Structure 1
Amino acid sequence: MNKLFRFLPLLLLISGICFLPVTTVFADDENGTDKNEIEISISPKDTLFNISNMKPGDWAPRVITVKNSGSKDFDYQMQLRNDGEEKLFNELLLEIKAGDEELYQGKLAAFKSLPIRKLATGSGEDLDITIRFPEHLGNEFQGLLTAFDFIFTAEGKDSTAVQAVASGQIASGGPTPTGKILPATSTNIFNIMLFGAVLVVGGIVMMIITYYRRMKLAQ
Structure 2
Amino acid sequence: MKRLRSVFQFFLLIGGLYFLPVVSVFADSENDTDKKELDISLSPKDTLFDISNMKPGDWAPRTLTVKNSGSKDFNYYMHLQNNGEKKLYNELLLEIKSDDKELYQGKLAAFKSLPARKLTNRSDENLDITIRFPEHLGNEFQGLDAVFDFIFSVERKNSTAIQAVTKGQIESGGVASAGLKLPATSTNLFNLMLVGSVLVLGGIVLMIIRHYKRTKIAQ
Same fold (TM over 0.5): yes
For residues 99 and 156 of structure 2, the distance between their equivalents in structure 1, rounded to whole angstroms, comes to 24
Task: Specify the alignment match of 1:213 in structure 2.
Answer: none
Q: Which one has the largest radius of gyration? A: 2
For residues 131 and 36 of structure 1, the distance between their equivalents in structure 2, rounded to whole angstroms, comes to 34
Structure 1: stretches of 5+ with no match in the other structure: 1-31, 176-219
Task: Specify the alignment match of 1:49 in structure 2.
Answer: 49
SS at match of 1:56: coil
For residues 35 and 81 of structure 1, the distance between their equivalents in structure 2, rounded to whole angstroms, comes to 25
Identity over aligned residues, as a percent?
75
Alpha-carbon shift at residue 160 of structure 1 (Å):
4.3
Task: Specify the alignment match of 1:135 in structure 2.
Answer: 135
For residues 152 and 104 of structure 1, the distance between their equivalents in structure 2, rounded to whole angstroms, comes to 16
For residues 71 and 46 of structure 1, the distance between their equivalents in structure 2, rounded to whole angstroms, comes to 24
Alpha-carbon shift at residue 161 of structure 1 (Å):
1.7
Alpha-carbon shift at residue 172 of structure 1 (Å):
0.0
Q: How does 1:44-193 map to 2 (within 5 A)?
A: 44-155=44-155, 160-174=160-174
For residues 143 and 76 of structure 1, the distance between their equivalents in structure 2, rounded to whole angstroms, comes to 35
For residues 165 and 52 of structure 2, the distance between their equivalents in structure 1, rounded to whole angstroms, comes to 21
Alpha-carbon shift at residue 155 of structure 1 (Å):
2.5
- Structure 1 length normalisation: TM-score? 0.62
CA contact (8 A) 2:49 2:170 kept: yes
Alpha-carbon shift at residue 159 of structure 1 (Å):
5.9
Question: Could you say what the CA RMSD is over the residues aligned between the two structures, in angstroms?
Answer: 1.9
CA contact (8 A) 2:92 2:108 kept: yes
* CA deviation vs aligned residue, 1:27-78 (integer Å, no higher than 9, x gap): xxxxx9x961110000000000000000000000000000000111110010
Alpha-carbon shift at residue 156 of structure 1 (Å):
5.0
- Where in structure 1 do 4 or more consecutive aligned residues deviate above 3 Å? 156-160
For residues 35 and 162 of structure 1, the distance between their equivalents in structure 2, rounded to whole angstroms, comes to 9
SS at match of 1:89: coil
**Which has the bigger relative contact order, CA under 8 A and spacing at least 6?**
1
Q: Give the residue type in structure 2 aligned to 1:81.
A: Q
For residues 64 and 165 of structure 1, the distance between their equivalents in structure 2, rounded to whole angstroms, comes to 11
For residues 149 and 52 of structure 1, the distance between their equivalents in structure 2, rounded to whole angstroms, comes to 17
For residues 155 and 35 of structure 1, the distance between their equivalents in structure 2, rounded to whole angstroms, comes to 12
Structure 2: stretches of 5+ with no match in the other structure: 1-31, 176-219
Aligned residues: 143
For residues 37 and 127 of structure 1, the distance between their equivalents in structure 2, rounded to whole angstroms, comes to 23
Q: Give the residue type in structure 1 aligned to 2:85.
A: E
Q: Give the residue type in structure 1 aligned to 2:154.
A: A
CA contact (8 A) 1:38 1:159 kept: no
Q: Give the residue type in structure 2 aligned to 1:120.
A: T
